[in-house]
Amino acid sequence: MGNDFNPFQMAQAQLKAACDKLGLDPGYYEILKEPLRVLTVNIPVKMDDGTTKTFIGFRSQHNDAVGPTKGGIRFHPDVTLDEVKALSMWMTFKCGVVGIPYGGGKGGVICNPKELSKSELERLSRNYFRAIAQIVGPEKDIPAPDVYTTGQIMAWMMDEFSKVKQFNAPGVITGKPLIIGGSRGRNEATARGCMYVIVEAAAKIGLSLEGATVAIQGYGNAGRIAAELLSGLGCKIVAVSDSRGAAYNPAGIDPWAIGQFKDTTGTVKGYPGSEDIGNAGVLTLPCDILIPAALENQITAAVAPEVKAKLVAEAANGPTTPEADKILFENGIMVLPDILANAGGVTVSYFEWVQNLMGYYWTEEEVNDKLHQVMVQAFSNVYNMYQRYGDIDMRTAAYLVAVERVAQAMEVRGWV
Ligand code: GLU
């Protein structure tokens, strides 16, 4: 991340543009520009060598006018408070775009999980969750996985919360393993939702998916499964990358084979028959569809003029800066913004929470059908807004849909 990049200022700028466009009373922006509540915790953890190390964690609850706050927990060495605040704001609007009854929240712990043993990771996860236990809960704030956090980590956190509260509380967190109340289809949901909106957008811009070339930055849960799903639709994956490097092959890459390669070597870099064009090189390749599926601040004003894709689908949160947005828009590139393109994850998290509260579990087909309906409807609402104005990009259109909804909830509650 560049030193001058502040994701929270970026989120505020996006929000301001939407509030202005909607002509809202300034009171709405005043409430929404900051999270309602932020908790910073110091987390002591006994390391395997007997020493004690103290980690810093955050939980930001941006807005709960529509419902309890919802959003993942990120474990990453570069986590900052402003990043977590921005991510929590994006969650408010992500839930607004897909119309699920949640506000936005986000958590983060400054750590490098790749350097922790499994037992250290477990202690860190449990201690962090115990430290934020008073402000989370099935009716208050429901965390989930995000960058470098897994179903196993969700299981430890849910167990810790259940012990603190002295009852089994599967609804406190989503993205859990199936056996303790996870939902079928949750693991694939972010990528699947992304695929659904790509299908809708491709039809609008006249792009045939059969043979369409795809470049993906990031080969974690979202990027990897998106590659598999799009390949299943006939797309050709020409490049994928991760934090260590990239694999580019214009003849096409088998997403399952390179996934197995990453499982054994830890990276996609060095995959046989591919060229390493670097993690950032993937963004400017000639291709039809570009999927940033890593971190924030990737498509910057310096990168945007070089983007050659016809469609950009943001599986990551915040990959494109506002300056870059303008350039992509002027160049006629359609961007499916994060709050729409990766909303499949939180949508199936919502389904998981509903199933937990009912104690009744759905088939994978039911989950995927419901997800499909939600994503198609959300795309259509955003696309209609985009067409209604005629002079805005899809991100602004998505914000207009979302902010309008959150503002309505604040109005009827009497906040403004
Ligand atoms: N971390 C994911 C996101 O950014 C999922 C959040 C959730 O499922 O609550 O959307």
d(CA 207, CA 289): 10
List, in sequence order, every residue forming a beta bridge with 90; answer none if it has no partner. none
pLDDT at 348: 98
d(CA 330, CA 313): 17
Q: Which two tokens stand for residue 77?
A: 């060495």
Half-sphere exposure of 131 (CA within 13 A, CB side): 23
User: What's the Cα-to-Cα distance from 263 to each of 256, 257, 267, 276, 284, rounded to whole Å?
Assistant: 10, 10, 8, 18, 26
DSSP-derived pairing of the beta strands 236-242 and 213-217: parallel
Residue among 69, 92, 153, 190 whose CB has most ligand 1 atoms within 8 A, to mutate = 190
Is 140 considered catalytic here?
no
DSSP 71-95: --EEEETT--HHHHHHHHHHHHHHH
Q: Are 88 and 62 in contact (CB under 8 A)?
A: yes
What the chain holds in terms of domains, given with CATH numbers, is: 36-180 (3.40.50.10860), 189-341 (3.40.50.720)
Q: Are 139 and 68 in contact (CB under 8 A)?
A: yes
Q: Which two tokens stand for residue 393?
A: 């990009």
> Which pTM was predicted?
0.97
Q: Is 327 exposed, middle or buried (0-12, 13-18, 19+ CB in 10 A)?
A: buried
**Could you count the other beta carbons within 10 Å of the beta carbon of residue 48?**
11
Please work out whether the CB of residue 72 comes within 6 Å of at least one atom of ligand 1: yes
SS3 at position 312: strand
Distance 346 CA to ligand 1 centre (A): 5
d(CA 370, CA 131): 35
pLDDT at 1: 43
Residue among 59, 91, 351 whose CB has most ligand 1 atoms within 8 A, to mutate = 91
Please work out whether the CB of residue 187 comes within 6 Å of at least one atom of ligand 1: no
**Ligand 1 nearest-atom number relative to CA 349:** 8
pLDDT at 4: 72
Please work out whether the CB of residue 346 comes within 6 Å of at least one atom of ligand 1: yes
SS3 at position 245: strand
DSSP 2-45: -TT--HHHHHHHHHHHHHHHHT--HHHHHHHTS-SEEEEEEEEE
d(CA 261, CA 30): 49
Distance 50 CA to ligand 1 centre (A): 34
Given the residues 70, 94, 106, 262, the one annotated as active site: 106
d(CA 133, CA 131): 6
pLDDT in tens, the chain (416 residues): 445 789 999 999 999 999 999 999 999 999 999 999 999 999 999 999 999 999 999 999 999 999 999 999 999 999 999 999 999 999 999 999 999 999 999 999 999 999 999 999 999 999 999 999 999 999 999 999 999 999 999 999 999 999 999 999 999 999 999 999 999 999 999 999 999 999 999 999 999 999 999 999 999 999 999 999 999 999 999 999 999 999 999 999 999 999 999 999 999 999 999 999 999 999 999 999 999 999 999 999 999 999 999 999 999 999 999 999 999 999 999 999 999 999 999 999 999 999 999 999 999 999 999 999 999 999 999 999 999 999 999 999 999 999 999 999 999 999 99
Q: Are 103 and 69 in contact (CB under 8 A)?
A: yes
Please work out whether the CB of residue 174 comes within 6 Å of at least one atom of ligand 1: yes
Closest CA to 28 of 405, 410, 413, 396: 410
